[in-house]
Amino acid sequence: MTEKIKSRRKFIKASAAVAAGLGAITLAACEEKKEEKKAAAPAIMKAEPVVLKVQAAWGGGIFLENAKSYVDRVNAMAGSSLKIDLLSVNSVVKTSQMQDAVHRGVLDGAHYVPAYWYSKSPAASLFGTGPCFGWSAQEMLGWIHYGGGNELFNELMETLGLDLVSFFNSPMPAQPLGWFKEEIKDVSQMKGLKYRTVGLAADVLNEMGMSVVQLPGGEIQPAMKSGLIDAAEFNNPTSDSDFGMQDVSKHYHLASFHQSQEAFEITFNKTKFNSLSSEHQNILRYASEAENSNFYWNNTLRYADDLIELKEKHGVNVYRTPDSVMQGQLEAWDIVVDRISAKDPYFAKVVASQKTYAKKVMDYLLLNQPDYALAYKHHFG
């Protein structure tokens, strides 16, 4: 090997050794600087999650499940930064006091229906248990979200001086006319009956000659059992089964215009809501929209299954409410709406908005929808 080659190899080895040494020195210096920065940097405290105390109007049953479903969606989307603590009925205040409790900040929110604060304003029922203009709860929610209903609701909150913001979801099927001691074959049988309902429906059925008593859900079955009332409705086959209505009556009438479109209202203290980050506000809002679909898919099947059980296991006779009763309801609605509108310009304003939306949307839907009953009969008889 020539001296030149040997010399070159020695040079390369020496250079590598120097480079390795410099690298080690540089790495050590970098690590030292990192440690210095860590020591100098202030400790970052992990923020505590925002917890919202929300009371539901439901002590159990499928509606409490629905409230939990909304809460689960909020908690899942928010991760550890926001949490809703769901409280069952009467945990902090009575159902009739929930809206005021949220307004005052005693509660951060509530899960209920507008009919539960109907005494504040007859217009409350227009956002959940109002007259039917040929639409269902799906279209009523469309009016709230896209037809000006939400703006009108906020106007009502300001007029009543309530520090609230609300989201509406869960399009309920039309409520059954309910449970009776005998089959109702004609509207004339309704006169004089002591009947349980809530909201503006009470005014409508009073107009039809019934004697209406407004009772909370848990008191319906005992009242009918004791004879305090002759007939009653609550909401759906599942809830009615849970209340044990099949034990006090075997005559169940489906279909009615007394409460043919209703939805849940999830209300929050407005000051509290406005203090939240925009991300948290959007989670509360969009979880409501997501629950809208989940409610319809889940509850429709449950109602259908429980109706079958009422018939087959409990011997309940199920009827479709006669047209004469439903026509009588529509005529009574006209009288009630005109009477309140004459005294309450805001009420009349909301009704006019609803009619404008329903006339446009239902013109399209009723022309376009095929006769689903025809198809059902074709396949199932």
Task: Give CA–CA dist 93/233, Å, rounded.
Answer: 25
Task: Give CA–CA dist 84/211, Å, rounded.
Answer: 41
Residue ranges per structural domain of the chain: 50-170+262-300, 178-260+308-356
- Tell whether the model's pLDDT for residue 246 goes beyond 70: yes
Task: Give CA–CA dist 152/129, Å, rounded.
Answer: 16
Task: Give CA–CA dist 262/73, Å, rounded.
Answer: 22
Check residue 219 and give its pLDDT.
Answer: 86
Check residue 48 and give its pLDDT.
Answer: 85
Q: What is the pLDDT of residues 83-127, one digit of tens each?
A: 999 999 999 999 999 999 999 999 999 999 998 898 899 999 999
Task: Give CA–CA dist 254/69, Å, rounded.
Answer: 27
Three-state DSSP at 268 gives strand
Confidence band for 22, pLDDT divided at 50, 70 and 90: very low
Pick among 3.40.50.12160, 3.40.190.170, 3.40.50.11540, 3.30.565.10: CATH of 50-170+262-300: 3.40.190.170
Q: Which residues contact 262 (CB under 8 A, 6 or more apart)?
A: 113, 115, 128, 129, 137, 172, 175, 235
Domains 50-170+262-300 and 178-260+308-356 share a fold: yes
Confidence band for 4, pLDDT divided at 50, 70 and 90: very low
Confidence band for 207, pLDDT divided at 50, 70 and 90: very high
Torsion of CA 144, 146, 149, 155, to 10 degrees: 120
Check residue 217 and give its pLDDT.
Answer: 76
For 251, which DSSP code?
E
Task: Give CA–CA dist 174/236, Å, rounded.
Answer: 9
Decide if 223 contacts 212 (C-beta within 8 A).
no
Check residue 334 and give its pLDDT.
Answer: 97
Three-state DSSP at 23 gives helix
More confident residue, 20 or 290: 290
More confident residue, 192 or 42: 192
- Mean pLDDT for the chain overall: 89
The CATH number of the domain covering residues in 178-260+308-356: 3.40.190.10
Q: Phi and psi (nearest 5°) for 64?
A: -70, -35
- Per DSSP, helices labelled H in the chain are 3-40, 61-78, 98-104, 137-146, 149-160, 200-207, 220-226, 237-243, 270-275, 278-312, 323-343, 345-368, 372-380
